[in-house]
């Protein structure tokens, strides 16, 4: 749409020419009433970062930038999400040399897009230069019990110089939900920050207790094996395999559509479809074996 294209060009110009931060661009978009693809006026810096790095806006879409793999266990639960991903696959990046270039209409001048990417790189460099000493040991690993958002490390105002993490003092871990600027000026959580030295000391005390008790480690290891075995009942496995088969079949359908539209050539199309169909066949055999083993007359 012409209006969407106009805002796309504004985003690149604000970052590349005006050298605005991603968060400032988010605020401008929200003030202008510009809506995202999901219909909300809230914009995230990660969304803008992905737009700037996407070459499709300058006329060259890249097919095959990601591939589907089985999701790995999460380091910590995501807020308002189950402990295990409900999707059978997750996307991981593919090396640049394996991408397939597809010409598309350009929305942004290549020089402006390059300036925007250069600005992002400069921002990353400055952020690394400002980092002094060790980072925050528990950042992103501690979750607020009240609102479910993660805690992040922050130097307390007035203590930044003499109480820097890794020095002889402390900072604080702060709940993301208590930052009003992240939620249209109104915080969603009232939990107070926690001194980093105290929290890290408590966590390390628990870790030391585990390391100093080998029997406790062995017991926990056996318990997790038991839990894993209980979660791997045939019925549950069959349902999970069915979800994976469905996802792979949808992938085959998308490849066929891309080949029919001329987006994917035959050299790229045939090996990918063959790989997906081989994986589908393997999963179907596994599903049938589990279903047969779960029948009452199975021996």
Taking the alpha carbons at both ends of the chain, their separation in whole angstroms is: 62
Specify the length of the chain in residues. 299
Specify the CATH class of 2-64+99-130 in words: alpha beta
Strands 172-175, 151-154: parallel, antiparallel or unpaired by DSSP?
antiparallel
pLDDT of residue 117: 92
Higher pLDDT, 267 or 145: 145
What is residue 228's predicted lDDT score, i.e. its pLDDT?
62
Q: 87, 288 in Cβ contact below 8 A?
A: no
What is the full DSSP assignment across 35-76?
A: --TTS-S---HHHHHHHHH-GGGGTEEEETSEEEEPPPPPSS
- Integer Cα distance of 240 and 85 in angstroms: 11
Token code pair at residue 40? 């909300």
**Better-scored residue on pLDDT, 232 or 146:** 146
Q: What is the pLDDT of residue 9?
A: 92
Burial class of 238 by CB neighbour count within 10 A (0 to 12, 13 to 18, 19+): middle
pLDDT at 1 over 80: no
In contact, 233 and 293? CB cutoff 8 Å: no
Phi, psi of 215 (to 5 degrees): -65, -35
Q: What average pLDDT does the structure give for the chain? A: 79
Q: Mind listing the pLDDT tens digit for each residue in 175-210?
A: 999 998 888 778 889 999 998 888 999 999 988 988
Per-residue pLDDT of 62-109, as tens digits, reads: 888 777 777 777 666 666 666 666 666 777 888 887 888 888 888 999
140 or 298: which leads in pLDDT: 140
pLDDT (0 to 100) of residue 158: 55
Pick 220 or 82 by higher pLDDT.
Answer: 220
DSSP state of 150: B
pLDDT at 160 exceeding the cut of 50 = no
């Amino acid at each position: 749409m012409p209006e969407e294209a106009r805002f796309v060009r504004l985003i690149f110009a604000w970052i590349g020419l005006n050298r605005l931060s991603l968060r400032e661009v988010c605020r401008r978009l929200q003030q202008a009433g510009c809506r995202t693809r999901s219909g909300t006026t809230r914009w995230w810096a990660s969304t803008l970062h992905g737009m700037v790095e996407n070459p499709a806006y300058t006329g060259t879409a890249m097919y095959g930038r990601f591939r589907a793999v089985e999701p790995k266990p999460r380091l910590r639960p995501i807020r308002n999400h189950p402990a295990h991903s409900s999707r059978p696959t997750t996307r991981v990046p593919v090396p640049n040399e394996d991408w397939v270039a597809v010409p598309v209409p350009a929305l942004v001048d290549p020089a402006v897009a390059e300036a925007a990417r250069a600005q992002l790189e400069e921002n990353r460099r400055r952020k690394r230069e400002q980092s002094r000493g060790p980072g925050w040991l528990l950042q992103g690993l501690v979750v607020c019990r009240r609102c479910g958002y993660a805690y992040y490390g922050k130097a307390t105002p007035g203590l930044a110089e003499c109480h820097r993490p890794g020095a002889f003092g402390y900072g604080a871990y702060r709940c993301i939900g208590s930052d009003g600027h992240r939620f249209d000026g109104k915080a969603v959580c009232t939990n107070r920050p926690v001194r980093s030295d105290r929290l890290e000391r408590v966590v390390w005390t628990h870790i030391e207790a585990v390391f100093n008790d080998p029997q406790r480690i062995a017991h926990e290891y056996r318990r997790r094996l038991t839990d894993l075995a209980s979660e791997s009942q045939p019925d549950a496995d069959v349902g999970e395999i069915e979800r994976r088969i469905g996802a792979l079949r949808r992938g085959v359908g998308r490849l066929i559509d891309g080949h029919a539209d001329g987006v994917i050539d035959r050299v790229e199309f045939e090996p990918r479809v063959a790989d997906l169909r081989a994986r589908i066949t393997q999963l179907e055999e596994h599903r049938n074996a589990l279903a047969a083993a779960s029948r009452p007359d199975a021996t």
